[in-house]
Amino acid sequence: MKLALNKVTLCAAAVLFSSAAFAEKVVNNSITLAEVKAAQQAWGEALINISNTHEQKGAAAAKALAKQVLDAAYGYNMGAVLFKPTLANGEQTFRTTYDGALSYFVAGDKNFAQDGGFALKGWKKYEYENAGVYLNGDLALTMGHVHVTDKAGNTTTVDKTWGFKKDAEGKLRIVLHHSSLPYAAN
Amino acid sequence: MKLALNKVTLCAAAVLFSSAAFAEKVVNNSITLAEVKAAQQAWGEALINISNTHEQKGAAAAKALAKQVLDAAYGYNMGAVLFKPTLANGEQTFRTTYDGALSYFVAGDKNFAQDGGFALKGWKKYEYENAGVYLNGDLALTMGHVHVTDKAGNTTTVDKTWGFKKDAEGKLRIVLHHSSLPYAAN
Amino acid sequence: MKLALNKVTLCAAAVLFSSAAFAEKVVNNSITLAEVKAAQQAWGEALINISNTHEQKGAAAAKALAKQVLDAAYGYNMGAVLFKPTLANGEQTFRTTYDGALSYFVAGDKNFAQDGGFALKGWKKYEYENAGVYLNGDLALTMGHVHVTDKAGNTTTVDKTWGFKKDAEGKLRIVLHHSSLPYAAN
Amino acid sequence: MKLALNKVTLCAAAVLFSSAAFAEKVVNNSITLAEVKAAQQAWGEALINISNTHEQKGAAAAKALAKQVLDAAYGYNMGAVLFKPTLANGEQTFRTTYDGALSYFVAGDKNFAQDGGFALKGWKKYEYENAGVYLNGDLALTMGHVHVTDKAGNTTTVDKTWGFKKDAEGKLRIVLHHSSLPYAAN
């Protein structure tokens, strides 16, 4: 397709109309790759923060912080979250409620008696690596490995999938979280 | 929220795990502002191109080109397009079909006898200015003015709304197009 | 972290789960056709309501109601709204701000001196007819005619495009509104 | 361009239109709950179908069928798929490519030497139960259990997350698939 329009005529037009140009307003409801990575990084930092708070200030302070993290980073106030934590199983495999998620991270809920408190395990290091990122408007999916290292230097690697939803304030919230230990062939 | 994690521990973690890093694959189905503006610019260039083709090569060539433009720039193959052209009215106000759109641009369809062929009016210059752009995943909306100038130097300004959908190949297609002459208070 | 999983535990788990189906939780962020039509109907009813309030209770009451309608039905608190009202033109063609929209409906703002107050024109009857509806996740587009009839029995028809966005509470808000008088060939 | 519009033509138009309602065209790009469940059911039926074909017609026929299933049910032609199969680990944990996915289901690819062919295990029965479904426009997420039973009557249960994308033809394709064995506390 030949294009007869040229830069000169375009510039002329610009001169002609530029005196009434609008201030272009842009609303963007989509998630960028940078936003996804910031949210992934923040998740690990929050995990370590809860661990450190637990060590330094005790269980109550850790629980209070975990609530703040859940409120800010997960979408439980936007409806159910599809959450399969690493170390949950049986009838409590899926934590679609706020209470179920909170118990997984800091334990202490008699309704989830098997929970040991994943965020209380003394995590000191965190890293994620993505095999793939899928950006689809206000929803972004990631899949890859997460490595967490405790104070004894032991590293646990998990296979992790996240789904992030951009909320009304433009912040990313986790609405999907599937974490599992690597398959161990024997 | 105090953040105990520091750059040093993060870097240490990176060293530890970097030997098994994946090549991150990214799929992005969302529309960027730059893609929207490129599509807006392309629409005007195509309009001028059809006008020039009409002058230089006649009606048949202009119609053939208009079909190419419609195929590439509009989403008629993705379902109905919500199209209200500037100079259409009555029962033929809305051109939700391919034939209705083609007739509007190049005329010659007895089912749309009032059409004069908007793209055949000798357009030489084109400019758009956005009052607002709304990016929402694979759909983007724009609203603003479009100015087109013919070979006699007469400029027509219209109020124009576009909706662009990103298709499976990553190309933007118009699925909404509302164009109207400015309101003339008397 | 040692992984103790083996085939035996797997089978045991299967027996356990098969008798304990989950209560499926469903979150739906997409807009349905019924929701779109309800929002279209509500827009017209609100318009008539403002007109009636103006007649019965005066300008202040009409303005107060118009604010409620704008707050509930439009998305100005979610960023700019792409709004081209029927009877606006020139530099004030596009009302991307709350104040600009309010003035269009009830006038009385010196910054928009030409506004006569579209909602104050004694509207008594409202009808919409869609040429097309485009449902795209949490955003829905409509295009068609709107007919409004005043107390003298005069009907005005406009070509109207709406874009509705589903907000965090599941309510539809107008983020795009292009309204224009029908083209009158001479 | 002169604008001849006046009140008289408006009223005339209104009379004309009121007797000629449009045939409303509706395009719907969003996924429904019913579509999600049909896709979940189809996945299991395809798995059993491949198993049966393998038994009855051999490896080549099973592989040919698996290719058809991958082509139809997964989105590899739409970019990378985020796929973590149940029994994959190490550097081959994530199968973001078509070949990696095909090998997981029917084995026989030297680049994925550890694959045993998950679809070749004689599956006879399939059941899924959702803990949650998240509908977000043209993308839908599910999380829950999947139970598959082989010809010996042994049932394997996995924790499974799927992400389905509606494609240009309106068909659902898997773009996310995280499957893991239940955590076994010891």
* Average pLDDT, integer, range A68-73: 97
- pLDDT tens-place string over residues A94-134: 999 999 999 999 999 999 999 999 999 999 999 999 999 99
In this predicted structure, the answer to whether residue C170 has a pLDDT above a threshold of 50 is: yes
pLDDT in tens, chain B (186 residues): 233 333 323 223 333 343 446 789 999 999 999 999 999 999 999 999 999 999 999 999 999 999 999 999 999 998 889 999 999 999 999 999 999 999 999 999 999 999 999 999 999 999 999 999 999 999 999 999 999 999 999 999 999 999 999 999 999 999 999 999 999 976
- pLDDT tens-place string over residues D48-104: 999 999 999 999 999 999 999 999 999 999 888 999 999 999 999 999 999 999 999
Q: Which chain D residues contact residue C144 at CB under 8 A?
A: 22, 24
Contact B80 D16 (CB under 8 A): no
Q: What pLDDT does B2 receive?
A: 32
Q: Name the amino acid, one letter, at A124.
A: K
Contact A91 C1 (CB under 8 A): no
User: Which tokens hold the place of A45?
Assistant: 């930092």
Q: From the candidates A176, A177, A181, A186, which should be mutated to test the interface with D, based on the most D CB atoms within 10 A?
A: A176
Q: What pLDDT does C5 receive?
A: 33
Which residue in chain A has the smallest CA separation from D166? A136
Contact C180 B176 (CB under 8 A): no
Q: How many C-beta atoms lie closer than 10 Å to residue B147's C-beta?
A: 19
Q: What is the dihedral of CA C185, C186, D5, D6, to 10 degrees?
A: -130
Helix (H) / strand (E) element for A89: namely none
Q: Could you please report the per-residue DSSP string of B43-93?
A: HHHHHHHHHHHHHHH-HHHHHHHHHHHHHHHB-TBTB--EEE-TT--GGGS
Q: Helices A98-106 and A59-73, interaxial angle, to 10°?
A: 140
Beta-carbon contacts of A1 under 8 Å, excluding residues fewer than 6 positions away, are B46, B49, B65, B68
Q: How far apart are CA A66 and CA A118, in angstroms?
A: 11
D29/A contact by beta carbon, under 8 A: no
Beta-carbon contacts of C50 under 8 Å, excluding residues fewer than 6 positions away, are C62, C65, C66, C69, C105, C106, C119, C120
- pLDDT tens-place string over residues A157-185: 999 999 999 999 999 999 999 999 999 97
Residue D93 DSSP code: S
Contact C143 B82 (CB under 8 A): yes
Q: How far apart are CA B179 and CA C179, in angstroms?
A: 10
B41/D contact by beta carbon, under 8 A: no
Angstroms from D55 CA to nearest CA on chain B:
36
C158/B contact by beta carbon, under 8 A: no
Q: How far is CA A139 from the centre of its chain?
A: 11
Q: Which chain D residues contact residue C26 at CB under 8 A?
A: 33, 132-135
Q: Name the amino acid, one letter, at A89.
A: N
More confident residue, D114 or D1: D114
In this predicted structure, the answer to whether residue A152 has a pLDDT above a threshold of 60 is: yes
B25/D contact by beta carbon, under 8 A: yes
In this predicted structure, the answer to whether residue D112 has a pLDDT above a threshold of 80 is: yes
Q: Which chain B residues contact residue C84 at CB under 8 A?
A: 143, 159, 161, 180
Q: How far apart are CA B178 and CA B155, in angstroms?
A: 19
User: Which tokens hold the place of A105?
Assistant: 């991270």
Give all chains having 3 or more CB-to-CB distances under 8 Å with chain B: A, C, D
Classify residue B51 as exposed, middle or buried by CB count within 10 Å of its CB (0-12, 13-18, 19+): buried
Which residue in chain C has the smallest CA separation from B135? C139
In this predicted structure, the answer to whether residue D13 has a pLDDT above a threshold of 80 is: no
Helix (H) / strand (E) element for C102: namely helix C98-106
Contact C182 D25 (CB under 8 A): no
Rg, chain C, Cα only? 24
In this predicted structure, the answer to whether residue C53 has a pLDDT above a threshold of 70 is: yes
Q: From the candidates D1, D77, D97, D167, which should be mutated to test the interface with B, based on the most B CB atoms within 10 A?
A: D1
Which residue in chain C has the smallest CA separation from B140? C139
Per-residue confidence band for D21, with pLDDT thresholds at 50, 70 and 90: low
Q: What pLDDT does A14 receive?
A: 32
Q: How far apart are CA A130 and CA B123, in angstroms?
A: 50
Q: What pLDDT does A22 receive?
A: 72
- Domain boundaries defined on chain B: 33-180
Question: Among D5, D134, D145, whose Cβ lies nearest the Cβ of C181?
Answer: D5
Q: What pLDDT does D17 receive?
A: 37
A161/B contact by beta carbon, under 8 A: no
Angstroms from B97 CA to nearest CA on chain D:
10
Q: Which chain C residues contact residue A186 at CB under 8 A?
A: 6
Length, in residues, of chain C:
186
Q: What pLDDT does C125 receive?
A: 98
Q: What pLDDT does C71 receive?
A: 97
Contact A125 B149 (CB under 8 A): no
Per-residue confidence band for A186, with pLDDT thresholds at 50, 70 and 90: low
CB A104 within 8 A of CB A88: yes
Q: Which chain A residues contact residue B30 at CB under 8 A?
A: 30-31, 135-137
CB C101 within 8 A of CB C115: no
User: Which tokens hold the place of A87?
Assistant: 């170390």
Q: Whose structure tokens read 């001028």?
A: B48
Contact A184 C5 (CB under 8 A): yes
Beta-bridged to residue D143, according to DSSP, are D132, D161
Q: Could you please report the per-residue DSSP string of C40-69?
A: HHHHHHHHHHHHHHHHHH-HHHHHHHHHHH
* Average pLDDT, integer, range A32-61: 98
Which residue in chain C has the smallest CA separation from A96? C25
**How much is the mean pLDDT over chain A?**
89
Per-residue confidence band for C89, with pLDDT thresholds at 50, 70 and 90: very high
Q: What pLDDT does B12 receive?
A: 30
Angstroms from B108 CA to nearest CA on chain A:
22
Q: What pLDDT does A185 receive?
A: 78
What strands lie across the sheet with C172-180, from one edge to the other? C82-84, C172-180, C155-166, C139-150, C123-136, D25-28
Question: Among D143, D180, D185, whose Cβ lies nearest the Cβ of A82?
Answer: D143
Q: Which chain C residues contact residue A90 at CB under 8 A?
A: 13, 16-17
Q: How far apart are CA B135 and CA A106, in angstroms?
A: 39
Angstroms from C68 CA to nearest CA on chain D:
29
In this predicted structure, the answer to whether residue C28 has a pLDDT above a threshold of 80 is: yes
ipTM (interface predicted TM): 0.88
Q: Which chain B residues contact residue D136 at CB under 8 A?
A: none
Question: Among A17, A27, A134, whose Cβ lies nearest the Cβ of B27?
Answer: A134
Q: Name the amino acid, one letter, at C142.
A: T
Q: What pLDDT does C80 receive?
A: 85
Q: Whose structure tokens read 């224009």?
A: C180
Strands (DSSP E) found in chain C:
25-28, 82-84, 123-136, 139-150, 155-166, 172-180
Q: Whose structure tokens read 């994946």?
A: B22
Give all chains having 3 or more CB-to-CB distances under 8 Å with chain D: A, B, C
Residues of C (97-156) whose Cβ lies below 8 Å from A: 137-138
CB pairs < 8 Å spanning A and B: 154
Q: How far apart are CA D130 and CA C29, in angstroms?
A: 18
Residues of A (71-100) whose Cβ lies below 8 Å from B: none
* Average pLDDT, integer, range C157-162: 98
Question: Among D94, D175, D183, whose Cβ lies nearest the Cβ of A131?
Answer: D94
Q: Assign a CATH topology to domain C33-180.
A: Nuclear Transport Factor 2; Chain: A, (3.10.450)
Which residue in chain B has the smallest CA separation from A72? B1
Q: What is the dihedral of CA B12, B18, B22, B25, to 10 degrees?
A: 50
Angstroms from A94 CA to nearest CA on chain B:
28
Classify residue A32 as exposed, middle or buried by CB count within 10 Å of its CB (0-12, 13-18, 19+): middle
